[in-house]
């Protein structure tokens, strides 16, 4: 398929009818022959629906939750398509299942297995614009599934891959990806180019502009991503590709801040119990990510386990941890959700000991306690108390990015935009 554009618009971009009309303006100005437009639910609709489910049950059934949450995107695609048709644009809306997005059977965090090429070809032949509900699909057994938070990004990239579109434009409410969260860190700068690996690590570390699975999929299929501002569409935004950047390896590219973290301490765990394997099993099935894990043998019979976890639902997290304590026979369980993970991101920095040493020294000299820290090829992370998080992020950003390392001259001190929160 040729001459196809794939555009994705997040929840704040379609928050109300006025904003949906603005999205239609962008679509109408696009000169590509065929367009696939992926949209999220309006504003905080997904959070609202999830809140209703939590009023019914502290642990809502996953199948019924998917049935409920998938309705949010259906509202968005219908309203957007009504306006497109009213303006004389040949458009049609599709749910994930109608467009042929096939997923595995995992409710609430399903993975895309396939997209029906025949369904896409037929739809594109009959329409100029396909408006597709992001965040959802149909399992092999015929069940409605959702892809997890940020799943609309993954839907858009998957559709770009299925149609052979070489790029995908992710429209959000900021001008692109910045050296840190402009709402939490001073004097951030727009990053004009990022590699796939840097983007994946940045997303995993808490940046909310793009979902890591979307970046992983884009890397696999070689799809260029461009993160742009719906409300400043002429700005080129941030380009994400496999191209080498002008920077040398082992340079910090960004500082990420993630407050959806928990510090967990399990004491006097019987040494024979496979605590780490059980953690992986329990947390994976509930879509909770283990960021850091540490096991210390107290003696031949008992050990101490520390965890840093990324979570979305505090009540669900507490239920899982209580299960873990009961099964493991741990004497005590301590859960602290008043912590934040601060991460340095950049290709090769994980093996650059001087960066880690400098960062730790900076935080220590500022009397900021590091509860846990970890590193990978492109990330160095520190878990700190939330009351010190902003100061820690400011200090690290100033130290490693105070001298602007990106080619853009745009400095984010002109406005404080909303952050994209929907799927």
Average pLDDT, the chain: 88
Sheet-wide strand order for 34-39: 91-94, 129-133, 34-39, 4-9, 167-172, 224-229, 238-241, 193-195
Residue with the larger pLDDT of the pair 134 and 402: 134
**164 backbone φψ class: left, alpha, beta (φ>0; ψ -120 to 50):** left
Q: Rounded to whole angstroms, how far apart are CA atoms 127 and 18?
A: 24
Backbone angles phi, psi at 58, to 5 degrees: -70, -20
Range 255-401 has CATH code 3.30.1360.70: no
If one compares 243 and 333, the residue with the highest pLDDT of the two is 333
Q: Which of 5-14, 330-339, 399-408 has the lowest mean pLDDT?
A: 399-408
Confidence of residue 182 (pLDDT cuts 50, 70, 90): confident
Answer whether 375's CB lies under 8 Å from 356's CB: yes
Tokens of 154: 């993954």
pLDDT of 249 > 70? The answer is no
- Do 417 and 182 contact (CB within 8 A), yes or no? yes
Q: Which residue has the higher pLDDT, 256 or 3?
A: 256
Q: What is the pLDDT of residue 219?
A: 94
The CATH T-level fold of domain 4-247 is: Carbamate kinase (3.40.1160)
Query: Is a pLDDT exceeding 50 seen at residue 419?
Result: no
For residues 9 and 39, the answer to whether their CB atoms sit within 8 Å is yes
> Binning pLDDT at 50, 70 and 90, where does residue 166 land?
confident
Which range among 138-147, 237-246, 390-399 shows the weakest confidence by mean pLDDT? 237-246
Average pLDDT over residues 387-397: 95
Predicted confidence (pLDDT) at residue 315 exceeds the cutoff of 90: no
Q: Between the CA of residue 356 and those of 312, 347, 405, what are the distances in Å?
A: 28, 14, 19
Q: What confidence tens digit (pLDDT) does each residue in 102-141 have?
A: 999 999 989 999 999 888 989 999 999 999 999 999 999 9
Q: Is the dihedral of CA 199, 205, 209, 214 positive or negative?
A: positive
Determine whether 354 is exposed, middle or buried from the number of CB atoms within 10 Å of its CB (0-12, 13-18, 19+): exposed
Beta-strand pair 144-146/4-9: unpaired
pLDDT given at position 415: 36
pLDDT tens-digit readout, 14-72? 999 999 999 999 999 998 889 999 999 999 999 999 999 999 998 899 999 999 999 99
Q: Do domains 4-247 and 255-401 have the same CATH topology?
A: no
Beta bridge partners of 38: 8, 132
Q: Are 295 and 305 in contact (CB under 8 A)?
A: yes
d(CA 43, CA 14): 7
62 token code pair: 């996953």
Computed on alpha carbons and rounded to an integer, the radius of gyration of the chain in Å comes to 22
Dist. CA 3–CA 71, nearest whole Å: 31
Question: Structural domain boundaries of the chain?
Answer: 4-247, 255-401
Q: How much is the pLDDT for 16?
A: 97
Q: Above 80 in pLDDT, residue 404?
A: no
Report how far residue 116's alpha carbon sits from residue 26's, in angstroms, rounded to the nearest whole number: 27
3-state secondary structure the chain: CCCEEEEEECHHHHCCHHHHHHHHHHHHHCCCCEEEEEECCCCCHHHHHHHHHHHHCCCCCHHHHHHHHCHHHHHHHHHHHHHHHHCCCCEEEECCCCCCEEECCCCCCCCEEEECHHHHHHHHHHCCEEEEECCEEEECCCCEEECCCCHHHHHHHHHHHHHCCCEEEEEECCCCCECCCCCCCCCCEECCEEEHHHHHHHHHCCCCCCCHHHHHHHHHHCCEEEEEECCCCCCCCEEEECCCCCCCCCCCCEEEEEEEEEEEEEEEEECCCCHHHHHHHHHHHCCCEEEEEEEEECCCCEEEEEEEEECCCHHHHHHHHHHHHHHHCCCEEEEEEEEEEEEEECCCHHHCHHHHHHHHHHHHHCCCCEEEEEECCCEEEEEEEHHHHHHHHHHHHHHHHCCCCCCCCCECCCCCCCCCCCC
Average pLDDT over residues 365-376: 92
Q: What is the phi/psi pair of residue 84, to 5°?
A: -60, -45
């Amino acid at each position: 398929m040729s001459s196809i554009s794939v555009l994705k618009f997040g929840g704040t971009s379609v928050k109300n009818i006025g904003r949906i009309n603005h999205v239609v303006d962008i679509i109408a100005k696009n000169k590509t022959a065929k367009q696939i437009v992926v949209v999220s639910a309006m504003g905080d609709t997904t959070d609202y629906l999830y809140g209703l489910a939590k009023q019914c049950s502290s642990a809502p059934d996953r199948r019924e939750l998917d049935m409920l949450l998938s309705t949010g995107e259906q509202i968005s695609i219908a309203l957007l398509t009504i306006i497109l048709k009213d303006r004389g644009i040949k458009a049609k809306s599709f749910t994930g299942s109608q467009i042929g997005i096939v997923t595995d059977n995992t409710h609430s965090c399903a993975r895309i297995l396939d997209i029906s090429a025949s369904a896409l070809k037929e739809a594109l032949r009959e329409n100029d614009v396909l408006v597709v509900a992001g965040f959802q699909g149909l399992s092999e057994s015929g069940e409605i599934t959702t892809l997890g938070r940020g799943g609309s990004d993954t839907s858009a990239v998957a559709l770009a891959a299925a149609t052979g579109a070489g790029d995908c434009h992710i429209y959000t409410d900021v001008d692109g990806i910045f050296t840190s969260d402009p709402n939490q860190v001073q004097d951030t700068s727009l990053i004009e180019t990022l590699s796939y690996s840097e983007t994946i690590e940045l997303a995993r570390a808490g940046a909310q502009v793009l979902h890591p699975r979307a970046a992983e999929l884009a890397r696999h299929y070689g799809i260029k991503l461009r993160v742009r501002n719906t409300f400043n569409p002429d700005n080129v935004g941030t380009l994400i590709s496999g191209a080498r950047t002008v920077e040398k390896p082992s340079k910090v590219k960004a500082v990420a801040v993630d407050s959806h973290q928990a510090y967990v301490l399990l004491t006097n765990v019987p040494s024979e119990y496979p605590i780490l394997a059980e953690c992986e099993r329990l947390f994976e099935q509930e879509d909770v990510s283990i960021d850091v894990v540490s096991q210390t043998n107290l003696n031949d019979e008992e050990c101490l386990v520390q965890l840093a976890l990324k979570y979305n639902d505090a009540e669900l997290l507490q239920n899982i941890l209580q299960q873990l304590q009961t099964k493991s026979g741990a004497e005590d369980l301590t859960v602290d959700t008043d912590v934040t993970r601060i991460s340095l991101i950049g290709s090769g920095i994980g093996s650059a000991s001087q960066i880690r040493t400098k960062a730790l020294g900076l935080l220590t000299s500022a009397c900021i306690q590091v509860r846990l820290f970890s590193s990978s090829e492109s990330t160095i992370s520190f878990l700190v108390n939330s009351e010190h998080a902003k100061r820690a992020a400011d200090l690290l950003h100033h130290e490693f990015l105070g001298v602007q390392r990106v080619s853009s001259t745009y400095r984010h001190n002109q406005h404080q935009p909303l952050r994209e929160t929907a799927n």
